[in-house]
Amino acid sequence: MSLRSLRPVLLLLTLGLLLVAGAVPRAAEAQANRRCFPETGQCIGGRIYSFWEQHGGLAVFGMPITPQQPQVVEGQTIQVQWFERTRLELHPNNPPPFDVLLGRLGVERLEQSGRNGETFPADTPQPDCRFFPETGQNVCGAILTAWRAGGLELDGRAGKSEEESLALFGLPLSPAQTERLSNGQEYVVQWFERARFEVHPENTPPYNVLLGLLGNELRGEIVDAVPASVVRFDLDACPFGGVAGRRVECGYLTVPEDRSQPTGRTIQLAVAIVRAPGPNPAPDPLSTAPSRSFSPSL
């Protein structure tokens, strides 16, 4: 075969190699802009991932607990993704970084538990605290340190300005006060528009102040209108053979018999939780049995 006859073949091989070489960086770039969490079976990508990574990651937002999906927020249908501690909302008409906004989960969680963030008692300025006249609340001590340590990156400078902290957490709604949380333990907490700060003195700084799992709580079934000391879930052995290839947890959920009388009689509900294996599970189905015992039909 002459060199002249080989030229078309060599040209095609060269073009093929160039195409493959060009595809590798694009594939690597796509993979780099996506992160999956086996703990929750969810992934984050695109603009939400870059925002999550740049402005606090796990410590501020937690892991994703839903896929990105449409949701009606304040009368508008937008793309959102829920995380353990927050809800990130896409607003593509806004300039960065405001093309991604945080849901006002502090306000929403208070409303879910039957409270109004505007009715907490107001205070006067206190020494060594930051007073917010907009809501009449002081932020002091370890909570103030944690509030100032976090924030959206707005000016490209090292450290966090007060404007950046406000953009991430919002204004304080309550004073620092002791509350019993959903795990049954009491903590000093302070509510903000977009977060709940919790003081954990058993931890060393900076982990002595943590952000509440408001995303988990808002998407859960149990609300604070029923005391946490009443509602509890106790694990127990599953009385059936399980489901092949699935993680199954069984137990009994104790709840008030009448939710309007949370301190009255309680009942136990047999619960079997079958974890979905895929990254994008369908909405949770719910099956019920009429008695305390597990039903083989569940």
Instruction: Answer whether residue 265 shows pLDDT above 60.
Output: yes
Q: Are residues 98 and 54 in the same domain?
A: yes
With 0-12 / 13-18 / 19 or more C-beta atoms within 10 angstroms meaning exposed / middle / buried, residue 45 is middle
Instruction: Look at residue 171 and tell me if it is in a domain.
Output: yes
Q: Read off the pLDDT of each residue in 178-206 and give the average, rounded to a whole number.
A: 93
185-191 contact pairs (CB < 8 A, 24+): 190/139, 190/143, 191/106, 191/110, 191/117, 191/120
Instruction: Look at residue 33 and tell me if it is in a domain.
Output: no
Q: Read off the pLDDT of each residue in 111-121 and give the average, rounded to a whole number.
A: 94
Q: pLDDT grade, residue 261 (50/70/90)? A: low
Q: Are residues 150 and 208 in the same domain?
A: yes
Q: What is the pLDDT of residues 39-56, one digit of tens each?
A: 999 999 999 999 999 999
CB 139 within 8 A of CB 162: no
| Predicted pLDDT at 251 | 75
| Predicted pLDDT at 19 | 43
Domain that holds residue 205: 111-218
Total domains, the chain: 3
Instruction: Look at residue 286 and tell me if it is in a domain.
Output: yes
Q: Are residues 86 and 155 in the same domain?
A: no
Q: Are residues 158 and 175 in the same domain?
A: yes
Instruction: Look at residue 253 and tell me if it is in a domain.
Output: yes
Q: 44-48, 147-151, 252-256: which range is least confident on average?
A: 252-256
Q: Are residues 154 and 61 in the same domain?
A: no
Q: Are residues 151 and 91 in the same domain?
A: no
Q: Are residues 136 and 200 in the same domain?
A: yes
Instruction: Look at residue 72 and tell me if it is in a domain.
Output: yes
Boundary-marking domain end, from 54, 69, 103: 103
Instruction: Look at residue 28 and tell me if it is in a domain.
Output: no
Q: What is the pLDDT of residues 71-95, one digit of tens each?
A: 998 889 999 999 999 999 999 999 9
CB 147 within 8 A of CB 139: yes
Q: pLDDT grade, residue 15 (50/70/90)? A: very low
Q: Are residues 115 and 214 in the same domain?
A: yes
Is the backbone peptide bond immediately before 97 cis, with ω within 30 degrees of 0?
A: yes
| Predicted pLDDT at 29 | 39
| Predicted pLDDT at 267 | 81
Boundary-marking domain end, from 103, 130, 154: 103
Q: Are residues 211 and 270 in the same domain?
A: no
State the Cα–Cα distance between residues 282 and 70, nearest whole angstrom.
14
Q: Are residues 55 and 127 in the same domain?
A: no
Check residues 147 and 298 and name the one with the higher pLDDT: 147
What is the average pLDDT value for the chain, to the nearest integer? 80
Q: pLDDT grade, residue 220 (50/70/90)? A: confident
Q: pLDDT grade, residue 273 (50/70/90)? A: confident
Instruction: Answer whether residue 122 shows pLDDT above 90.
Output: yes
> Considering the chain, what percentage of its residues have pLDDT values greater than 90?
55
State the Cα–Cα distance between residues 297 and 137, nearest whole angstrom.
53
Q: Are residues 120 and 188 in the same domain?
A: yes
Q: Are residues 206 and 296 in the same domain?
A: no
DSSP alpha helix (H) spans, 102-230:
105-112, 141-149, 162-169, 214-218
pTM (predicted TM-score): 0.65
Is the backbone peptide bond immediately before 239 cis, with ω within 30 degrees of 0?
A: no
Instruction: Look at residue 13 and tell me if it is in a domain.
Output: no
What DSSP line would sit under 44-66, residue for residue? EEHHHHHHHHHTTHHHHH--B-S
Which three-class secondary structure state does DSSP give residue 151? coil
Check residues 128 and 26 and name the one with the higher pLDDT: 128
Q: pLDDT grade, residue 209 (50/70/90)? A: very high
Boundary-marking domain end, from 197, 218, 239: 218
Instruction: Answer whether residue 298 shows pLDDT above 70.
Output: no
Provide the b/e sequence for 156-193 (b: ≥16 CB within 10 Å).
Answer: eeeebeeebbbbbbbebbbbbeebebbeeeebbbbbbb
Instruction: Look at residue 19 and tell me if it is in a domain.
Output: no
